[in-house]
Amino acid sequence: MPAKSKRSPIRIIISIVILLVAGYYGLDLTKSGGSTSGGSTTDRSSDQPRSSRPDQSQPSGTGTQSSTSTPTISIAPTQRAIVGLAKSQRSGQMVELNARVVKLLDDDNDGSRHQRFLLAIDYTPSPIQTVLVAHNIDLAPRVPVNEGSVIRIYGQYEWNDRGGVLHWTHHDPGGRHAEGWIELDGTVYD
């Protein structure tokens, strides 16, 4: 009869601690091939729709019809990555999430013009309640959002003490930066 393998209580405790810390920071350690350390990788969970612009074949700079509309999934789980970045006060990573517009702000017309609005962060627990979107309307079309609109967005998160900013929600004419986008009702604005 083969001997039973016993797990060391210390190994079990260490495994539990690792899972708790990963859960606190919004990391999914069950994914294979994903990186959870430093740098430029974006933590994407399986409940997030797509990791790049929805339809790569569409031309940049115009509102383009996507082949699929915003999925009907829970908003909060898609916000896990941005909450993890806010908790750790990290900046510079591209994130994708679904969110509800809670406030429209005046355009920022200093330098490049930016359409501005606030998105609700519904994921709990979270150190932030909203995030500012600064969408460059000199490079991409204005997104016809209203308070209450639900959008899907892919952009670069920059932490600040007010909840942070999502920018680079448009194509990069220089081709040196990851290209972001905003999708509203199946139309992509990039």
Output the tens digit of pLDDT for each of the chain's 190 residues.
555 555 567 766 776 666 665 555 555 444 333 333 333 333 333 333 333 344 443 333 444 443 334 445 578 889 999 999 999 999 999 999 999 999 999 999 999 999 999 999 999 889 999 999 999 999 999 999 999 999 999 999 999 999 999 999 999 988 899 999 999 999 999 9
Q: What pLDDT does 54 receive?
A: 47
CB atoms within 10 A of CB 120: 17
Nearest to 180 by CA among 65, 53, 54: 53
Q: What pLDDT does 64 receive?
A: 43
Query: pTM (2 decimals)?
Result: 0.64
Distance CA 67, CA 135 (A): 23
| Tokens 């797509």, residue located | 50
Q: What pLDDT does 58 receive?
A: 39
Question: Domain extents for the chain?
Answer: 62-189
Q: What pLDDT does 181 receive?
A: 97
Burial of 61 (0-12, 13-18, 19+ CB in 10 A): middle
CATH 2.40.50.140 at 62-189, yes or no: yes
